Amino acid sequence: METAFLVGTLFSAILLVVFLIMKIRLHAFISLIVACLYVGLITSMPLSKICASIEAGMGSTLGFLATVLGLGSILGKMLETSGGAERLARTLINAFGKRRANWAMMVVGLITGIPVFFQVGLVLLIPLIISVARATGLSIVAIGVPIGVSLQIVHCMLPPHPAAMAIAATLHADIGKVIILGLIVCIIAATVAGPIWTSFIKKYVKTDMASLSRTRKQTADADLPHFGITLFTVLLPMLIMVSKTLFDLSATENSQYTELVNFIGNPIVALLISAFFAYWSLGLNRGFSMRDLLKFTDQSFAPVAGILLVIGAGGAFNKVLIDSGLGIKLGDILTSLDMSPLLLAWVVAAVMRFSVGSATVAMMTAAGIVSPMLAQYPGLDPAIVALAVGSGAICFSHVTDSGFWIVKEYFNLTVEGALKSYTLATCIASVTAIIITTLLSKISF
């Protein structure tokens, strides 16, 4: 294939996805499947192989992720229904003090964002954000943007969150290593784009606290779970998976415990253990019955269905790129140009996020383009590439992103105000994240 044809096919496929989502208003899942067919046909793949490639891509991607995301959604639902998120927020605000409430909200976002989806976490914490802003006299921008951007950063970069887990699995990265390095990147990016950025921009964004909707009646402290058990429940899956990675780094190759540790540290087992622990710590221990837990579990699966299909379609797109020969040949071309795969991953994810609004679509598209190149860079850790993809997907949350409108409406901001505060915060977080990721790539782990 000629270089011009390769580049043209790839870019036209990406533009097709953008066009179908933005103009035709097709669902991202359907749009990605159409793009798979387009790439297969234009590269002259046998018709039977196109469908087989889509099926293989969907199956290989979801075989692992469907189980992991299902178990993770249970953990998020238990945090939501038990009042655990509110307990985390109240305790941290009391610890930081009212004058540093914006820093407390950043930490709340980083912790709460681990088990719950961005939109769920933000809507869940909106009443608390408004009440804290009123109580402290701080701008809603100073209080709300740090928590919003923190949720967004975790969504894109930190397993076991669905999108981050999907990228780690697609790139065959060590999930524990992604968590360890991702924590470093997330904390720094959230600090720069959250409290530091909002301390500057809050002066230039007009807000009307009086017109903010009155919050629901707050739950009494005595009716909320304890902080320690809530925090431990949220962090348990990460602790298990990170422990496995640390064991692998420190243990001898033939350790008698290797097989057992690898089994327990597998994300499926780690999240299953965590889900059962959440059933007790935030469920049975709080007076909920098994019937209640069954209802919560059923409710937790519905929001995951659409995300699973989009992730699966992204895996299919990746597989078609490889099977058509496009991905490998493109990787050879980019390697000859001496273009950093980290920069490419970041740019593609950022452009897709700007275009279609979905961080998940942006991440899966970028991973599909970059993954064939990894063989050309044997010294490049896939965990670093996963973080580069996530860094790009943080960027450009604007009018094409549903999260942007949640921030705008709930914080009673103008479109201009939301763009100045929240959108720019996501851009700053993205740039900060890729800088830190690039620096980490220079260090041998």
pLDDT at 273: 95
Element (H, E) at 428: helix 424-441
The alpha carbon dihedral of 390, 392, 395, 400 has a sign of negative
Task: Give me the amino acid identity at 56.
Answer: A
Question: Which pLDDT does position 332 carry in this prediction?
Answer: 66
Tell me how far apart the alpha carbons of residues 81 and 97 are, in angstroms, rounded to a whole number. 26
Residue 116, C-beta contacts closer than 8 angstroms, at least 6 positions apart? 76, 79, 80, 85, 124
What is the C-alpha separation between 73 and 300, in angstroms, rounded?
Answer: 5
- Report the alpha-carbon distance of residue 21 to residue 29 in Å, rounded: 9
Q: Per the structure block, which two tokens stand in for 151?
A: 């949720």
Q: How many CB atoms lie within 10 A of CB 42?
A: 15
> How confident is the model at residue 100, as a pLDDT?
86
Q: How many C-beta neighbours within 10 Å does residue 189 have?
A: 29
Instruction: Report the C-alpha gap between 21 and 7 in whole angstroms.
Output: 21
C-alpha distances (whole Å) from 264 to each of 120, 229, 273 are 29, 21, 9
Those residues whose C-beta lies under 8 Å from the C-beta of residue 13, and which sit 6 or more positions away, are: 35, 38, 39
d(CA 356, CA 315): 18
Q: The pTM is what?
A: 0.80
CB 122 within 8 A of CB 105: no
| Per-position pLDDT tens, the chain of length 445 | 577 787 788 889 888 988 898 788 888 899 999 999 999 999 999 998 999 999 998 998 888 878 888 888 898 889 888 988 888 878 888 888 877 888 988 998 898 888 777 877 777 777 678 777 777 778 888 888 999 999 999 999 998 887 888 899 889 999 999 999 999 999 999 999 999 998 888 777 766 655 554 555 667 778 899 999 999 998 898 889 888 888 877 766 567 788 898 899 888 899 999 999 999 999 999 999 999 999 999 998 987 888 888 888 888 887 888 788 876 676 666 656 667 889 988 988 898 888 777 788 889 888 888 887 787 788 889 999 999 999 999 998 887 677 887 788 778 888 888 888 899 999 999 999 999 999 999 886 6
**Spatial CB neighbours of 22, under 8 Å, sequence gap ≥ 6:** 355, 356, 400
Q: How many residues in total does the chain contain?
A: 445
What type of residue sits at position 89?
A
Q: Token digits for 50?
A: 């196109």
> Would you state the pLDDT for residue 51?
94
pLDDT at 55: 94
**Domain segments of the chain as ranges:** 3-441
User: What are 262-276's pLDDT values in tens digits?
Assistant: 899 888 899 999 999
Q: How far apart are CA 196 and CA 331, in angstroms?
A: 38
